[in-house]
Chains A and B, each alone.
Chain A
Amino acid sequence: MTRLRKLNSICPYFALPCHLQRHRISPHKRANQSIIRALIFPLTTAIIVPIRKESSIQLRNDDTIAAIITPPGDGGLGAIRIAGPESLKIVNRVFRPRDRRESALQPFHLYHGYIMDKNGAVIDEVTTVVMPEGRSYTGQLQAEIFCHGGQFVLRRILEEILRQNARPAEPGEFTRRAFLSGRIDLARAEAVADLVASKTTYAYNVARNNLLGRLSQEIDSVRNKIIDLLADIEAAVDYPEEALETAGNQTLETSLREIIGNLKNLIESYRSGRIIKEGFKIAITGRPNAGKSSLFNLLLNQNRAIVASIPGTTRDYLSEWIDLDGLAVQLTDTAGLRGKAGVIEKAGQASAQKIIEESDLVIWLVDITRKGWKKEIPADLKNLSNRIILLLYNKIDKAKRDVKASLKSIDFSVPSFPVSCLTGEGMTDFRRYLKTVTSAEFPDLTDRLVITSERHQVKLKNASRHFKKARLSLKKQLSPELTAFDLRQGLNEIDEITGRVYNEQVLDRIFSRFCIGK
Chain B
Amino acid sequence: MMSSLQRLGRMTLRFFARLGRGNLFMLRVLAGMPSVLPRFRLLVAQVYHVGFLSLPIIVVASLNVGMVLGLQMYNTLVDFDAESALGPVVALSLVRELGPVVAALLFAGRAGSALTAEIGLMKATEQLSGMEMMAVDPVRRIVAPRLLAGIFALPLLAILFSAVGIGGGYFVGVGLLGVDEGAFWSQMQDKVDWREDVLNGIIKSAVFGVVVTWIAVFEGYEAEPTAEGVSQATTRSVVFSSLAVLGLDFVLTAFMFGEP
A and B from one complex: no
A positions within 8 Å CB-CB of B: none
B positions within 8 Å CB-CB of A: none
